[in-house]
Amino acid sequence: AIILVHWLLTVWGCMNSMLPVSYAWGNFSVLAVGIWAIVQRDSLDAITMFLTGLLLTVLTDIIHISIFYPPHGYLSDATRFSLGMAIFSLLLKPVSCYLVYRMYRERGGE
């Protein structure tokens, strides 16, 4: 569910060309590692990399949104929706990090 929600929000966040390609590459790369963590349920490395990637994308998303946010007069409805979904994804990431951390602990992490 975590990966599906963040995938959908990232797709919606990339609908407009306001955010750079690095936003999409960073988020989709972390989601690919998340799929790896789902497939290999006994791998502690996979879930650790997924958690680390989520934490890093929190920082990079803040940087992307703050640098590329357009001035108020240039916000079309599509831009507003796209950036809103990117911000919503950013706000959900701490909750996702907590849930992934709980999975990490269940797999034997300390």
* Spans of all domains in the chain: 1-107
SS3 of 83, please? Answer: helix
Overall average pLDDT of the 34-56 stretch: 89
Burial tier of 44 (Cβ tally within 10 Å: 0-12, 13-18, 19+): middle
Q: Is the pLDDT score of 95 beyond 90?
A: yes
Residue 53, pLDDT score = 93
How confident is the model over 60-90, as pLDDT tens digits? Answer: 999 988 888 877 777 788 888 888 898 999 9
Residue 68, pLDDT score = 83
The string of DSSP codes covering 41-63 is TT-HHHHHHHHHHHHHHHHHHHH
> DSSP state, 20?
-
Q: Record the pTM.
A: 0.80
How confident is the model over 23-32, as pLDDT tens digits? Answer: 889 999 999 9
